Each structure stands twice: as C-alpha cells, then as structure tokens.
Copies of this chain bind each other. A is one copy, B any other.
Amino acid sequence: MEEVKLPQSQPPVIILVRPQLGENIGKAARAMLNFGLVEMRLVTPRDGWPNPQAGPAASGADIVLEQARVYESVADAGADCSQIYAATVRKRGVTKPVVTPEEAAREIHADTTGRAAFLFGPERSGLETDDVAIARKIVTVPINPEFGSLNLAQAVILMAYEWSKGVTLAQPPETELPPVAPQEELDGMIGQLEEMLDGAGYFFPPDRTPATKRTLRTLLTKPGWSSQEIRTLRGVLSTLARPRDR
C-alpha cells in the first residue's frame, strides 16, 4: 500500500550540557545514530573537544562526532530551536510541563516547521535549574521508583528511539510469512491422519468420533500452515504409517 507523503519533522538535536567523559559522548553518538539522529551539540565539555576517548566508544558513529559543535552556553546551543526538552526528573521550584519521551516524540513530529532539541546534563549531577529554565518542557522517562539509574547514553537512546518510531522509514521489515495453504491441502492432511488413527483404533467410542475429529481439526487448523509445511507433515505421517519391524 502506498503511503501518503507527509511533510516530515526535522530530527531533534541532542545537546549535551557540560558532559564529563569523552567515552560517554561517544556512547551517546552511537545511541543517536542507531535511530537516525546525527546532530549533536556540546556545551562546554569538561575535557575540551575533540576528545580522544569519544571515537572508540562511538563504535563507528564517527559522523556524529565529526559534526558535533561546541557552544559556550545552553542558550547559544539551543538558539535556533523552537521546542527544547530538558531530560531530567522534575526540578524543585521549576514549574514546567512534564512529558514522557513518547509524548515529546509525538509533539516533535507534529511540528513540521521548527527544530526541536533535547538537553542532557552532566553524567554525575544532571541539569541545573538554570539549564532547565531554557527548556519549554521537561521530559522524564517513567522509571522504577525504587531503582532509577539511567546513564547518559541510555537516556539518549530512549529519546532517539521514541522519535524514530514516528519516522516513516523506521518501520520494521514486513513479516514475510509464507501464505497459508489452501483448505483442500489441509483437508488432505487431516484425511490422511484420520485414516491412520482409524486403523489404529483411536476413534472410540464411536459416538464420540465426530467430537474427537472436530477437536483434531480445530487444533490442526489453528497454525495456518503453509503448503510447504503441510507437505512436510504429510511426509511425517507417511513415515509413521510405514510397516515397522519390531
């Protein structure tokens, strides 16, 4: 089926605010590229930029690191973005709407004109109140209240994953299950089995036979076997029907 071509939203920008370890920047890049995000921005990374630890951790997502740009402030990094989401748990004294990654993704896809960004704080401490102030909304991953321990790359991957679900080309491969065999092929197999069972005295007592046959038919119809599968099963039955030496 041909899908209607709709205007697509731009992929969101990932802004890492004062990231500490180059390794985590690399992992975040890898997480992003898995789901089609390529634009990373860094606000005053602790160990400068470029960082030699980032590349190996990116596992091939080098393009994200090569294009990453460094900014002096969160406001600069998000200057061209119309919708900024601060990835954090809710902050004391900050009254902003809180959305899930799923809701954020839906909002981003609904806006085909502006640019969106996700802000992530330093690994150890997270975003400061002043960083969050830049954002329109807070995005929080609903997490086990007794064990909340998402690292930076994991938080990034969940946002990227949710966003990617709304992109038309991120659909899963269509399942290519073989077509279900025509009814007559199934009937042929059922007939073969019933004949074997009849010879072996399975249908007893006689007044239960119709119900028993119905039960067998029901459970053999359930799978929706293909022609090939039915051929295989008929081969199995033929083997079992062969005279044996005991």
Binding site for B on A (CB under 8 A): 30-31, 33-36, 59-61, 90, 95-100, 102, 140-145, 147-151, 153-154, 157-158, 161, 164-165, 169-173, 175-178, 193, 196-197, 199-202, 215-216, 219, 222-225, 229, 232-233, 235-236, 239-244, 246
Contact = CB atoms under 8 A, between A and B. Distances in A.
B164 A161 contact: no
Contact of A142 (B98, B151, B170, B242): B170
Interface hub of A144, A158, A165 (most chain B Cβ within 10 A): A144
A160 B226 CA distance: 33
A219 B236 CA distance: 12
Tell me whether chain A's interface is mostly helix, strand or loop, or mixed. loop
Nearest to A101: B161
A34 B236 CA distance: 47
Contact of A199 (B144, B202, B229, B244): B244
A176 B94 CA distance: 10
A151 B243 CA distance: 53
How many copies of this chain does one complex carry?
2
A145 B175 CA distance: 17
Contacts of A30: 149
A170 B95 CA distance: 21
Given A95-B177, A196-B240, A202-B236, 8 more contacts: A30-B149, A59-B151, A154-B157, A157-B158, A202-B239, A219-B232, A222-B229, A243-B246
A236 B216 contact: yes
A163 B147 CA distance: 16
B173 A98 contact: yes
